[in-house]
Amino acid sequence: REDLKGLYSALLVPFNEDGSVNEEGLRKIIRHNIDKMKIDGLYVGGSSGENFLLGKEEKKQIFEIAKDEAKDQIKLIAQVGSSNIYEVIELGKFVTELGYDAISAVTPFYYRFNADEVYNYYKEITENVENDLIIYSIPLLTGVDMGIKDFERLFKLPRIVGVKYTSADFYLLERLRKAFKEQLIFSGFDEMLVPAVANNVDGAIGSTYNVNGIRSREIFDAVKSNDLQKALEIQNLTNDFISAVLNNGLYQTLKYILQREVNSDKQFYSRKPMAQITEAQKEEAENIYQKFIK
């Protein structure tokens, strides 16, 4: 469990124009994360990987490529969750075979599942997949809001080792941290890294670390060594970057920057129904790249 701590990029996935996975581009992004961003691990199959737009075989393909490229150089967490529990279990077994360090599963969404249903979903996964599991809580996108009692019950399940907490509720984060010292808590909002680390999270998982990993590590370390002034300075600059990216289209802009960083002559497309980057967005993405990353 201790070994899983650290800074993870939520892996972005480049697609070809026809919607298939751009394997060469994906390998380059993984290398960029390992060699240049010096990241501790990758979170594969998250929102940032456009995972919820993909079929089962495509998810497997991405899990395989990521493991094949990263080998044992960094830690790998596979997000296998969805509302199809049989697929979740199949993917969980698949990535465990491949050697992933842990699995993660988003709360089941779309239907308004009650707390018992959410609990039973995790219970069933942990009973069937022999790997550590990190709950993926992202109420903003799933509509599933969990309170301290819900977490308490889930954390008693033997294989559950923590939560990827993508929420701006710092009161709940503070309560969770105090109550569950043994559980791993990963912060999910890159723009709120300072307050998350100040609340003693064990790590962070985010999309912007794919291109802003070095600065994010500096923020993490500065808070840890009680240099709040320095941490805030870098967070301020980082958030100028993140705000610009969010205003211009999150995944489109990050993928444009990655395409520039890894020198790919092929465009990194998004998966439909995500929109493709427009000429005006490209121009702004280039400005952002020149200003903050290059």
Binding site for ligand NAY (CB under 6 A): 10, 46-48, 141, 166, 188-191, 205-208, 242, 246, 250
Q: At closest approach, how far in Å is the CB of 239 from ligand NAY?
A: 10
Q: Which residue among 100, 136, 251, 289 is the active-site one?
A: 136
Helical segments of 46-192, H only: 56-70, 85-98, 115-128, 139-142, 148-155, 170-179
> Do residues 107 and 144 touch, judged by C-beta distance below 8 A?
yes
Q: At closest approach, how far in Å is the CB of 27 from ligand NAY?
A: 19
* Residue nearer to ligand NAY on the CB measure, 85 or 250: 250
* Residue nearer to ligand NAY on the CB measure, 153 or 237: 237
Residue whose beta carbon is closest to ligand NAY: 46
Catalytic-residue membership of 100: no
Catalytic-residue membership of 164: yes
DSSP state of 109: -
With residue 259 as reference, give the H or E element that holds it. Answer: helix 250-261
Q: At closest approach, how far in Å is the CB of 249 from ligand NAY?
A: 12
Q: At closest approach, how far in Å is the CB of 154 from ligand NAY?
A: 18
Q: Which residue among 59, 67, 75, 164 is the active-site one?
A: 164
* Residue nearer to ligand NAY on the CB measure, 176 or 181: 176
Measured CA to CA, the distance from residue 66 to residue 73 in angstroms comes to 11
* Residue nearer to ligand NAY on the CB measure, 22 or 207: 207
Closest CA to 21 of 59, 77, 67: 59
Cα atoms in the Cβ-side hemisphere of radius 13 Å centred on 274: 25
Query: Helix, strand, or coil here: 165?
Result: strand
The residues that are catalytic are 136, 164
